[in-house]
Amino acid sequence: MKISRRGFLHGMAAAGALATGTAKAAGHRKFDGYPGSFGLLHDTTLCVGCRSCEAACREVNNLPPVEVPVGDKDIFRKKRRTTEKAYTVVNEYRKATETTPAVYRKHQCMHCNEPCCASVCFVKAFTKTPEGPVLYDPDVCVGCRYCVMACPYYALAYEYDDPVTPRVVRCTMCYPRIKKGLNPGCSDACPTGAIVFGKRKDLIKLARDRIARFPDRYVDHVFGEHEFGGTSWLTLAGMPFGQLGLHDGATHTPIPEMATSYLSVVPLIVTIYPGLLLGMYAFTKRKEALALKEKNKAVADTLAKADEETKKKLADAAARAAKDKERAVNQAVKKAGAEAKKAAEKKEDEK
């Protein structure tokens, strides 16, 4: 299994480099594709919509032959897309007029320099090879189809009818043929030279040269040179790319960079949260403890105050009682004195 290289570096850096802690280690560097990698140029101004490429693609990839014979233009009445049985399809984008020919564009995996499919795969099933092709490894694929969903070119297909070993299916840029020194099947089959295989850098030069030589024939843009970080497949056109089902004015920022930017937050949350939340918990506990302490103090104070008042009341009562007693004694003494006096007077009278 190939260890994938580029395409993940952005994400790995953005992921805060979970292990190393060197976030955005390569943040100031830009990746323009592997030097010396291959590519293909589709010049839509030369394409006649014969679909020889479709037939050749099926042949070299051991797929069932094309259902509608090559050259039959009826097929263009309906827009088609790549499927698990067709790695490439040609669509018609403008009908022929008396003065202008019809315009066709070939669909297939664009083989991005920084593939979105690779960055969103949670088992790293995709690899950008230094030769250019993006390869897929069905042996690890779980079948989540995030890659199919994320591809901006709608280039990936899935084997929905296979219950046991469904795979993601797409153009391989004929990697096995490239390895053998052969050209991809489609470029060999093209009768008009609309598909050219070669070093990506040379193809960009060739495309620029054609635009310079025939400025009226081409829109001054090579699609795939910079779009979302660039692709191995390049496209030349005589009409706006937006009308060819491609992204007009697409950003040069690779989608993996946008998709993984948020992951830098992950290590922050993992490291900050426990301390922060424990702190909040401690504050809550402390507040509760303080409230309890204050409550206890208030109760004690109240009790103490009540105690004092009671003592005072008791003392007052005792004092009052003592006074009452004294008065009673005095009164009793007085009364006894008076009575004695009376009795003495009475005795004197009887004498």
Partner 1 sequence: MNESPSERTGIITPFNVIAAVILAVGAVIILIRFVKGLGATTNLTHTNPWGLWIGFDVMTGVALAAGGYVTSSAVYLFGMKEYKPIVRPAILTGFLGYFLVVVGLIVDLGRPWRLPYPFVVQAGPTSALFEIALCVALYLTTLFVEFTPAAFEWLGWKRWRKVVVSMTVALTIFGLLLSTLHQSTLGAMYLATPTKLHPLWHSPYIPVHFFVSSIAAGISMVIFESMLSHRVFGHLVEISHVQFDNITVGLAKAGSVVLAVYFAIKVTGISLEDKWHYLSTPMGHWYLLELLGFVLLPCILFAVGFREKKTGLIRFAGAWTVIGIILNRLNVSIIAFNWQLPPDERYVPHWMEIWVTITIVTFGVVVFKWIVNRMPILYEHPDYRGMH
Contact positions toward partner 1, by CB under 8 A? 1, 8, 10-12, 14-15, 18, 81-84, 116, 118-125, 140-146, 148-150, 152, 154, 156-163, 165-166, 247, 250, 255-256, 258-263, 265-266, 269-270, 273-274, 277-278, 280-281, 284-285, 287-288
Burial (CB count within 10 angstroms: exposed 0-12, middle 13-18, buried 19+), residue 263: middle
CB of 2 to partner 1, least distance (A): 11
Nearer to partner 1, 46 or 250 (CB): 250
Minimum distance from residue 220 beta carbon to partner 1 (Å):
23
Which residue is listed with tokens 């693609």? 57
Q: How many CB atoms lie within 10 A of CB 273?
A: 10
CB 47 to partner 1: min, Å? 23
Report the C-alpha gap between 49 and 205 in whole angstroms.
25
Q: Closer CB to partner 1, residue 137 or residue 188?
A: 137
> What is the b/e burial string over 70-104, where b = at least 16 CB atoms within 10 angstroms of the residue's CB?
eeeeebbeeeeebebebbbbbbbbeeeeeeeeebb
Nearer to partner 1, 69 or 274 (CB): 274
Residue closer to partner 1 by CB (options 79, 95) is 79
Rounded to a whole number of angstroms, the minimum distance from the CB of residue 313 to partner 1 is 40
C-alpha 257/C-alpha 250 separation (Å) is 14
β-bridge mates for residue 73, sequence order: none
**Choice between 123 and 314, CB closer to partner 1:** 123
**Residue 66 vs 190, nearer CB to partner 1:** 66
Q: How far is the CB of 234 from partner 1 (least distance, A)?
A: 19
**HSE of 213, CA atoms in CB hemisphere, 13 A:** 6
d(CA 22, CA 136): 29
| CA 186 distance to own-chain centroid | 36
Question: Minimum CB separation from partner 1 for residue 206, in Å?
Answer: 28
If the CB atoms of residues 117 and 178 are measured against partner 1, the closer one turns out to be 117
Question: Shortest Cβ distance from residue 242 to partner 1 (Å)?
Answer: 11
Specify the residue, 94 or 145, whose C-beta has the smaller distance to partner 1: 145
92: its two tokens: 């018609």
Let me know: does 184 contact 59? Beta carbons within 8 Å: no
Least separation in angstroms between CB 288 and partner 1? 6
Which CB atom, from 147 or from 207, has the smaller least distance to partner 1? 147
- We find the least distance from the C-beta atom of residue 277 to partner 1, in angstroms, to be 5
